[in-house]
Amino acid sequence: MPSMHYTKLGWTDLSVSVIALGCAQFSEQFSKTQKSEADMLAILRRALDLGINLWDTAPSYGNGVSETIVGKAIQGCRDQVVLATKIKYGHTTPEAVERSCEESLRRLHTDYIDVLQVHWPAEQVLNEQTLIGLWRLVQTGKVRYAGVSNFNQDQMEQAASICPIISNQLPYALVWRYDEPLIRYCGASRKIGVLAYSPLGEGILTGRYDEQTIFPPHDVRNHCVFFKPAVRPLALKVTDAARQVGERYGLTPAQVAITWTAHQPGISSVIVGSSSVPQLEQNAAAVSIQMDKEDEALLAAASDEYMAKAPRYRTMWEK
């Protein structure tokens, strides 16, 4: 198995793996396959074996279930994990932010969080109060660094004026490049790391689906823009390009999509979920891939065509 690569997150000396483990799938709400607690713990422990030290979770993932599983996995190895979680939805006062943090600390069985993030921005006044609460937690030592998620440039500037921010978590993939100016701003202007999530476009870039694929009524992908009738054929052309490139290297389309994302300017780490240990190992192996310029150009052309033709949505999920 290729060795993991690491980078410094934002303006700090915090060393994080360029592949991060997304832990949303450790809850029934976000999981596409049923997993036992033993299965989930096996994925987490194998991640550490592979050198994946950045784990991203949130209270909203299964109403605390994901944090609870992560908390069990880090026992005996807490100092080897860079633990990132988020403030609970709706907790927008300093007091509520502190309560959310205390609840996360209990579920995670730890006395500090490496990176505590604002999950989604709110109105300006509420953002300010949330960030004041977050800064207080950093000052107490319960939180090492403050981060945000899904913040635009104006919101980033407001956040940075209240609390030192280490990272912004943003969606980014071959089929979702709308935030590239913001990614450049974070890196070049603010020295803030970018944690890229949904690098597989909610699964459209894995190569497992075609235009005839139908999901069960409760499946979250029914609300994903990439699977909408007007978008899916266009997105699948990008998947075909990833498959074509992968065939030259003995790689899956998913591995190609992950490595493309990881190598884009301004990206600190790519958050990828894994439903099994073999899938985790495949994802981790993506860090060692070095594509030649011809293949990078092929992917860029396919992505550019998609971005020019596909309808633009506000988020990846639209009912």
pLDDT for the residue numbered 30: 57
pLDDT for the residue numbered 319: 67
Q: Which of 6, 61, 145, 209 is catalytic?
A: 61
Instruction: Give the integer Cα–Cα distance in Å for 256 and 286.
Output: 7
Q: In this prediction, what percent of the chain has a pLDDT beyond 90?
A: 85
Virtual torsion, Cα 166, 108, 60, 125, nearest 10 deg: -40
Closest-CA residue to 249 (of 293, 289, 281): 289
pLDDT for the residue numbered 218: 84
Instruction: Give the integer Cα–Cα distance in Å for 67 and 64.
Output: 5
Residue 31 pLDDT exceeds 60: no
In one letter, which amino acid is 134? L
| 258-286: pLDDT as tens digits | 999 999 999 999 999 999 999 999 999 98
Q: Is 185 a catalytic residue?
A: no
Closest-CA residue to 55 (of 311, 285, 274): 274
| 124-164: pLDDT as tens digits | 777 899 999 999 999 999 999 999 999 999 999 999 999 99
Domains of the chain: 6-201+261-290 (3.20.20.100)
pLDDT for the residue numbered 29: 60
Q: How many residues does the chain have?
A: 319
Tell me if 220 sits within 8 A of 30, measured CB to CB. yes
pTM of the shown model: 0.95
pLDDT band at 1 (very low <50, low <70, confident <90, very high): low
Tell me if 234 sits within 8 A of 309, measured CB to CB. yes
Residue 27 pLDDT exceeds 80: no
Residue 205 pLDDT exceeds 70: yes
Averaged pLDDT for residues 190-214: 96
Where does the chain show beta strands of DSSP type E? Answer: 6-8, 15-17, 19-22, 54-56, 82-86, 113-118, 143-149, 165-171, 193-197, 267-273
pLDDT for the residue numbered 112: 98
Structure tokens, 188: 């070049």
Instruction: Give the integer Cα–Cα distance in Å for 35 and 215.
Output: 19
